[in-house]
């Protein structure tokens, strides 16, 4: 094994260790899941008003907890955590939609969507939820239009946003859009992700496979917590949604997907491309969302 791949294995080994440590901490479960359900959601269900503004945050916390469960199952059982990952995804989606409903209502709570959050569109694509990806992208673009510090508030030269802007580029490729947004970076500025953008619709599966390997190299070597690290959100360290989204978009076009080997794809089952996940049913959401739509008057439940 050459020094480059040893470095990749070391990075991924550290992330596996960190994920296991996080999920084993009972305080995290209490903080992210149990407390959210007991102190936020149940009172709201009782009267339709209590903690209304905090419901989106509660959904976000539950999504985070399910993602940690997915990571743990993927690491320790080496099985694809389809149920946990789907629940994390659906709670994440409705976090944004309920927050948007509050922002659009006559009783806003100060929620804001940053540029970094557009990466979640790639998450929806990676799960195979094309309608959810479309809806979430529309929500994000809507907020950019009304927020003073929305789209383009930070130039690429000041602070590169690799995964969010890559997600914008991938979404535009999927929808066939030629719109150019304020401060949108050039494709070449994505460095190791650039070949992925170039090859996404290349008829040659092998050409796309080479781009996947370059993107995987860049993803792993870009993992970190510093502002200028390309992959600085830990949710994506072992779950390369940008690469999986590119595969989904290519497959939607009817183009072949190559099978390629890379330590990132083999680190956990989360790194491999899978068939679309069924959108899960969830008792909490089935109770909360209709009531939330009623009290805000802004939440569209049809996706």
Report DSSP letters for 246-276, one per residue: HHHHHHHTT--------HHHHHSGGGS--PP
Q: Compute the distance between CA of residue 129 and CA of residue 6 in angstroms, rounded to an integer.
A: 35
Q: Is the pTM of this model over 0.85?
A: yes
- 122-155 pLDDT, tens digit per residue, is 999 999 999 999 999 999 988 877 666 656 567 8
- 237-290 pLDDT, tens digit per residue, is 989 999 999 999 999 999 999 999 998 998 889 999 999 999 999 999 999 999
Cβ neighbourhood burial of 113 (10 Å; 0-12, 13-18, 19+): buried
126: closest CA among 300, 267, 252, 218? 252
């Amino acid at each position: 094994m050459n020094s480059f791949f040893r470095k990749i294995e070391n990075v991924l080994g550290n992330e596996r260790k960190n994920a296991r440590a996080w999920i084993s901490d009972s305080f995290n479960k209490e903080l992210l899941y149990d407390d959210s359900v007991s102190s936020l959601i149940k009172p709201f269900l009782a009267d339709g008003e209590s903690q209304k503004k905090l419901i989106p945050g509660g959904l976000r916390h539950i999504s985070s907890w399910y993602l940690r469960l997915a990571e743990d199952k993927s690491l320790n059982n080496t099985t694809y955590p389809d149920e946990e990952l789907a629940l994390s995804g659906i709670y994440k989606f409705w976090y944004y939609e309920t927050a948007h409903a509050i922002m659009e209502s006559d009783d806003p709570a100060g929620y804001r969507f940053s540029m970094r959050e557009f990466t979640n569109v790639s998450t929806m694509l990676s799960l195979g939820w094309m309608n959810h990806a479309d809806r979430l992208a529309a929500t994000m673009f809507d907020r950019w239009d009304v927020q003073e510090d929305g789209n383009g508030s930070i130039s690429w030269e000041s602070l590169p946003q690799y995964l969010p802007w890559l997600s914008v580029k991938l979404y535009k490729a999927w929808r066939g859009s030629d719109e150019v947004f304020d401060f949108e970076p050039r494709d070449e500025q994505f460095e190791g992700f650039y070949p992925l953008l170039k090859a996404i619709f290349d008829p040659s599966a092998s050409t796309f496979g080479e781009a996947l390997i370059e993107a995987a190299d860049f993803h792993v070597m870009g993992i970190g917590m510093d502002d200028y690290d390309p992959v600085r959100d830990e949710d994506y360290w072992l779950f390369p949604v940008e690469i999986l989204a590119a595969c989904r978009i290519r497959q939607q076009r009817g183009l072949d997907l190559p099978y390629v080997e890379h330590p990132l794809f083999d680190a956990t089952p989360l790194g491999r491309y899978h068939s679309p996940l069924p959108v899960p049913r969830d008792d909490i959401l089935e109770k909360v969302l209709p009531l939330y739509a009623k009290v805000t008057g802004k939440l569209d439940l049809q996706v």
